[in-house]
């Protein structure tokens, strides 16, 4: 038997329903906030991710589905969604239209070659939004509010953590301070942290090692060293969240795993999945467009982890819907097709091609949660009618074909 690859999963029945329900819910809300769909290729040049996600990150260092294709191109299956959207933004010259704003949403499969474990797949799915051209903190607030709307609509409880990662003015001096502090406790920090001090010291702050965390309690905090612009934006964001009744806490160790974030960073966390786990994350990345060769454009965005959300979503109660149609003699089947085709303009219709007794048809209709069971038997053929049972109201009627 040929099986799916390790860390990759089929989504069918209940899983399939959950998946598409989440995508549809998020899509509807994103549209209300003015977002347009963008589809970008799964396969991109490896250097796109090396540049945008950062060579020092675990994603690029260890987890990429990277290979040389038959044309000798170094290519990679996308490990996240933002890089491709930004590449498309630049390639389509939207960065030249500086007075305009562009808002895109996307969803799809992402690939990371990780050790498969619960809640972590090698092929996983994200829904994300990227907003380009707006540097005001109102957009950061609006995006957080939109994610809140999505989770509310999905019936998911969350905790929101926010932080500011500063800007090119206040981050570099802070980084120097932090490196000084980290060098002072190098011997006590874990191996990963030691490596990160030299490659990406900010990432040390979100080390999950307990011992490292306790050492970091005394580390300098960027939040105390923000420049006046970053500080006033961060304060404004907090005010806006409070006045919208969105609970949040400030986590000064919240740094995004990716290198291009500045100012607002946020994570939505669920306490219900095993260890505390992020179900959405994002923030501002004003430097990335320029970094990838475009004209400097402010941007803010986020991504939701669909698999994690699938474990939490409260699905609405299944409603009986659509039609089940059947015949009691196989010679009547031709009569069903035009009826079904007409009904399919507005409803879902399933036809049972094989002749069955009435009881068996009712069972079939029940099994697929149809609202109406429609059957044609001998009397119906004689009278030009159909027999219809409303399985919700438990009422039977006989209707002329035209009335039906």
Binding positions for Zn ion, rule: CB under 5 A: 166-167, 169-170, 190, 193, 207, 209, 212, 227, 230
Looking at the Cβ atoms of 170 and 265, the one nearer to Zn ion is 170
Neighbours of 14 (CB within 10 A): 10
- H helices of 249-291, in order, are 288-291
Q: Please, what is the minimum distance in Å from the beta carbon of residue 189 to Zn ion?
A: 5
Looking at the Cβ atoms of 167 and 289, the one nearer to Zn ion is 167
Looking at the Cβ atoms of 189 and 327, the one nearer to Zn ion is 189
> Coil, helix or strand for 302?
strand
Looking at the Cβ atoms of 185 and 360, the one nearer to Zn ion is 185
Q: Please, what is the minimum distance in Å from the beta carbon of residue 212 to Zn ion?
A: 3
DSSP characters over 311-337: TT--PPPPPP-SEEEEESSGGGGGGHH
Looking at the Cβ atoms of 212 and 312, the one nearer to Zn ion is 212
What CA–CA distances, in Å, run from 362 to 280, 329, 347, 394?
Answer: 44, 15, 19, 11
- Distance separating alpha carbons of residues 90 and 97, to the nearest angstrom: 10
Q: Please, what is the minimum distance in Å from the beta carbon of residue 262 to Zn ion?
A: 8
Are 311 and 361 contacting, i.e. CB atoms less than 8 angstroms apart?
no
Q: Please, what is the minimum distance in Å from the beta carbon of residue 167 to Zn ion?
A: 3
**What residues form DSSP beta bridges with 36?**
104
Q: Please, what is the minimum distance in Å from the beta carbon of residue 208 to Zn ion?
A: 8
- Distance separating alpha carbons of residues 374 and 387, to the nearest angstrom: 6
Angle at CA of residue 297, ends 263 and 29, nearest 5° = 75
Looking at the Cβ atoms of 195 and 343, the one nearer to Zn ion is 195
Looking at the Cβ atoms of 190 and 246, the one nearer to Zn ion is 190
Q: Please, what is the minimum distance in Å from the beta carbon of residue 119 to Zn ion?
A: 22
- Distance separating alpha carbons of residues 123 and 103, to the nearest angstrom: 26
Q: Which residues contact residue 295 at a Cβ distance below 8 angstroms, ignoring those fewer than 6 apart?
A: 95, 96, 98, 289
Q: Please, what is the minimum distance in Å from the beta carbon of residue 209 to Zn ion?
A: 4
């Amino acid at each position: 038997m040929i099986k799916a690859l390790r860390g990759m999963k089929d989504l069918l029945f209940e899983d399939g329903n959950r998946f598409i329900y989440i995508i549809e819910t998020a899509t509807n809300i994103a549209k209300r906030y003015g977002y347009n769909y963008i589809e970008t290729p799964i396969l991109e040049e490896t250097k796109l991710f090396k540049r945008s996600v950062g060579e020092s990150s675990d994603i690029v260092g260890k987890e990429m589905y990277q290979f040389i294709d038959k044309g000798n191109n170094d290519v990679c299956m996308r490990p996240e969604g933002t890089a491709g959207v930004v590449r498309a933004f630049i390639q389509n010259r939207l960065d030249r239209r500086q007075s305009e704003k562009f808002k895109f949403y996307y969803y799809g499969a992402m690939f990371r070659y990780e050790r498969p474990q619960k809640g972590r797949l090698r092929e996983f799915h994200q829904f994300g939004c990227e907003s380009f051209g707006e540097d005001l903190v109102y957009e950061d607030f609006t995006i957080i509010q939109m994610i809140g709307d999505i989770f509310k609509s999905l019936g998911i409880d969350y905790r929101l953590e926010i932080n500011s990662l500063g800007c090119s003015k206040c981050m570099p001096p802070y980084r120097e301070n932090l490196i000084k502090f980290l060098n002072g406790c190098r011997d006590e920090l874990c191996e990963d942290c030691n490596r990160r001090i030299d490659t990406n010291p900010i990432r040390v702050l979100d080390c999950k090692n307990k011992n490292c965390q306790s050492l970091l309690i005394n580390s300098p905090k960027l939040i105390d060293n923000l420049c006046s612009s970053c500080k006033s934006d961060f304060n404004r964001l907090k005010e806006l969240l409070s006045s919208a009744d969105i609970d949040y806490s400030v986590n000064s160790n919240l740094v995004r795993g990716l290198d291009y974030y500045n100012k607002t960073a946020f994570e939505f966390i669920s306490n219900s999945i095993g260890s505390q786990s992020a179900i959405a994350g994002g923030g501002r990345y004003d430097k990335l467009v320029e970094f990838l060769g475009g004209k400097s454009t402010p941007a803010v965005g986020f991504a939701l982890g669909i698999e994690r959300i699938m474990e939490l979503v409260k699905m609405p109660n299944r409603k009986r819907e659509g039609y089940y149609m059947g015949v009691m003699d196989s010679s009547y089947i031709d009569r069903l097709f035009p009826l079904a085709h007409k009904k399919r303009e507005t409803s879902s219709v399933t036809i049972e091609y094989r002749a069955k007794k009435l009881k068996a048809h009712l069972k079939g209709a029940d099994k697929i949660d149809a609202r109406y069971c429609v059957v044609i038997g001998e009397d119906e053929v004689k009278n030009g009618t159909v027999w219809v049972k409303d399985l919700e109201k438990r009422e039977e009627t006989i209707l002329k074909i035209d009335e039906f």
